[in-house]
Structure 1
Amino acid sequence: MAIATAIAICSSPSQYSPALSSFQTTPSLKTLNHPPLLLPPCGGAVALASAAVEAARAAVWAAGEAGEEEGGGCRVVRVRRRRRRKRRRGVEALGMVDKWDGEEVHEVSFGAARSAVLTPREEAEFCLCLKEEAGLEAARRRIAETREHEPTSNQWAEAVGIKRSSLDKMLCNGRESRERINQSYRRLVVSIAARYQGKGLSLQDLIQEGSIGLLRGAERFDPDRGYKLSTYVYWWIRQAIVRAIANKSRIIRLPGSICEMVAKIAEARTVLSRRLRRLPTYDEIAEFIDVNVSTVRLVSERSRTPISVDQAVTSQGCMTLQTLSALSLKGFHSYKVKRNSYMYSIRKVLGAIFEIIPGPDETTPQKMVKRQLMKQEVERALNTLCEREAYILRLYFGINGETPLSFEEIGRLMKLSRERVRQINSIALSKLRQTSVVDYLKLYMM
């Protein structure tokens, strides 16, 4: 109604409308007399017409909003359905040939359109080529497993029921399709990979993993559903990147459940640090994410970053952890010092190593170095005895890592009586107590 009113106002003749001058075609020139132009009345008519048009637009907009409220967003759904139908019609118009149907091979033009964004037709063609190539690779693997060697091209073509030339063409189409898809959606891969920087992998590694996920998703893409390829492969790219971070970002790989728990603990620690303005405790983190305190403590300890043995342990960088450990291992044999000063130096070195790398009691460098040094001193002590006495002590105490044996078992092994073996063991221990090596062994018992 408002639109009709505006059109009627603009088209109806008015006494205030200016008359256009008309020229006569006669050769004689006559003086033309025109009525005076009345601009103020004309300006009022134009303003009235503009107001009517604005009112009409407002009425149409209000009617559209009312329709959307009544239809519950049906307009958006109709637009999406229309786009999907259009894509389906484009795919059906391709006239695709089933793979390996007779001897025909799907023709694909790779040099026609080198645009950054693929059309629906190109997406369907390239994904079909990737599916054909994946089927051929699966057939090749089955042949290799059956015959226990890589098949030749003729054997490969014969196994899938096509000609050698058709096989080569399908493989070439697959390689070209992979390259085109990778080039066209590289920006999408980079945009997704950039969100996961700083989590253990470089940006180049993330892009490489995302490209693998892109091709994996393109092989499974179904254009008949009417969706865009970028919408479908987005989740495949993201999944490939997340799995790569979980499997390759650490020197010691952690299970997927532990990686998820590490992310939850890190997020909880960040939130609680802002809220409490200090580092939260294990109890507070466990209460925040609703898990046991032991789980939080275990995950936090297992997710620590390993320390390199080549890392400098001094401010000048002249000594590494590996050098420090080597110096402590050959301390007994390289330096001849008094007992008290030697004991102090060993404790100082082991204490420094213990402060550098904290860990469980059984795996700390302090325990490992102490065990290695004690083993060397025990070997030195056994070398002061005769061969039979040292052999009996090794079997009785299990010094070589074997199971300790009783006197009776050692007697059967050496064809001696149980009492004789016990006597030899007592004599050997008495000899060791009289040597100076025992003083060094007492250091490890403190």
Structure 2
Amino acid sequence: MEVGRSLLSTPSPPSQPRNKLRNHISTSGTKISQVSSKVAPSAVGDFPRLVITQELRETYKEDKSKLATAIEKKLEKIRPLSEAKEGRYKQNLKDVESKLLYWLQPREFALTHGKAVQSIEKDELTTSISSNFSEKGAAVLSGDKINVESYKIKFSTKVPVVRSNRLIERRLKKRKATKILKHVKRDDEISNSSIRCCTLSKKVERCINSNDPLRFFAWGLEYRKFLSREEEKEVIINIQHLISLEEAKERFESHFNHEPTPMEWARTVGLSSQAFDSHLVLGKCSLEKIVTTNFRLVLHIAKQYLGNGIAIEDLVQEGNKGLVKSLRKFEISKGNRFKTYARWWVRQSIRKAIQENSRIIRLPPNVFDLLRRIKREKKLCVQEGCAPKLEEIARRVGIRTEKLGCLLWYGREPVSLNDRTFTWYCEDVTYQEITADQRIEQPDIAVFKLLMREHVRQCLNILTPRERTVIEHRFGILDRERKTLNEIGGMFGLSRERIRQIESRALQKLREIASREDLSAYAMFLN
């Protein structure tokens, strides 16, 4: 018992410093063996001693396991550092080898650019390497004795070697690319607005002709945005108030036969001068606003009717008239948008203007509609790949072929004589220069007519003087003025019936002579 108490009262073994971990393990092991050797002889005599020694062994085992775990943790912390040092050492060794290869190449040959070859001595190279590396790397270099001669590359001095410039070119390209990217990133915010302006201007140039007089109106800011439903409702109410004021003015003019003054106009509608002025100004501004915001709608519809003999400016003007007219008929309570309603009035106004003003000779509306249908059916026939025949077009339109011919005759476009055309013998002439004068007869026809007149005079010589005079006045042979039977009877003092008898007897004689003289050959010249 006393031995056990002495063992329990003995102090624990002193802790060793961290740098002597292995010695600590060995000493602890020896102490445990010594204790066990001391306790073992006396264990047979006394049982409590064995228990105490067993407890001491367990405590030392626990201390040993704790010490082992602490050592393993310490080694785990040290191991990455050693591996990193070893990796750096290998990398540095590779760099040394590459530098040796690079600096040993100029000793055997010269570069083609004519530059002086620089050489470095072996001892200078090794000293520079040893100064740059760690102590471990320097020790390895000094211990291994790197054989510099083994890294020499044997080049033949007879064959000139030219170094490739591809690496330099790739580097230059990369530098240029990085410079461009940096420049773009730097100027991106500055040039963003300018790029948008350029793209917008390109779109404008593609969509609108530079000679188009409507390009400034179509691309203004106030012409791009449409009105919302609430704004549209407010604007139309103001316009309808303006229309009611104008209607009151017209009633005043028709009743009093003179234009009213502003005071009379305001008194007619039952408003004060200030309220009247505000309603009038607000209505005019609203009218201008709705016309400008719907200008693109009118322009879009007007472009569909190009090529009908009216310029685009006139079509747009007529469309605006229809737009203003639709304001008088539009009802807000129906719940429709104004653009949907005004579209039909704009089309109707443009079509009416085309019917009335597109041709020099105005055609009735029904004839104009039939011609438009005929034109559409012709286009459909061409698109289907068949020749547009009159019978097929008449069947599609639903009219007779004779009526179709008359409509095509009526629908001919008149041409000015001053318009220029092209012929096979002259490139640029007017219709006046190539159109013959119908009043001038051809020489051969003029000769035949002269011979016919002489022959007819010879035939008239067989008649009596009174019969000859009656025939000449009756058919206008002398002065080309035909006279009636009463006028000829007044000249001779005879009755109308007597002159008719003289005429019939003279014609009978001429018929007998014509059969003998063969005067039927002159029938083609009688017109």
TM-score by length of 2: 0.42
Structure with greater proportional helix content: 2
The structure with higher relative contact order (CA 8 Å, sep 6+) is 1
